[in-house]
Homo-oligomer: A and B are copies of this chain.
Amino acid sequence: MSAPRKRKSEPTPAEAAHAAQQEANFAAMARGEIPENDEYRLKRARNNEAVNRTRQKKKEEEVNTSVKVETLRMENSALERKVESLQKELSFLKEMFMAYAKKENGAASTSQQPMQQPLSGNLPGPSNPFSSLQ
């Protein structure tokens, strides 16, 4: 069914012994016999287990990667929203500043309520730019 497969390099001298053994096995197989050497079967079984472990691992890693991508996407959206909100706060504050300076330059006011409405309408968002001021 399957002749000895070669993938990349040469017989690699250290494996000559194995090769010989396998040659024997292949010869037997060619004769219709099954290389049911206990050692062979044992090695096959162990390797099959290893292969299945590797595959399981890989699947879990794929799942983890998917989760990671999803998490990163969420974090990203949240950060973008935060940037947006901060920028609105900033421009709000700046307009406030401008309105204040303008008023100050016009009439010499020493008003007790130093704040004026900014030029633009009130900005949305739950955060009050002055929540940290007093």
CB 8 Å contact bits of A91-131 with B (1 = contact, 0 = none): 10110011011001000101000100000000000000110
Copy total for this chain: 2
Known: A72-B76, A100-B114, A101-B114. 9 other contacts (CB 8 A): A1-B1, A1-B2, A69-B69, A76-B79, A79-B80, A79-B82, A79-B83, A93-B93, A97-B130
List 24 A-B pairs, Cβ < 8 Å: A1-B2, A65-B65, A65-B66, A68-B69, A69-B69, A72-B72, A72-B73, A72-B76, A76-B76, A76-B79, A79-B80, A86-B86, A86-B90, A89-B90, A90-B129, A91-B132, A93-B94, A93-B97, A94-B129, A94-B132, A97-B133, A100-B114, A104-B114, A108-B110
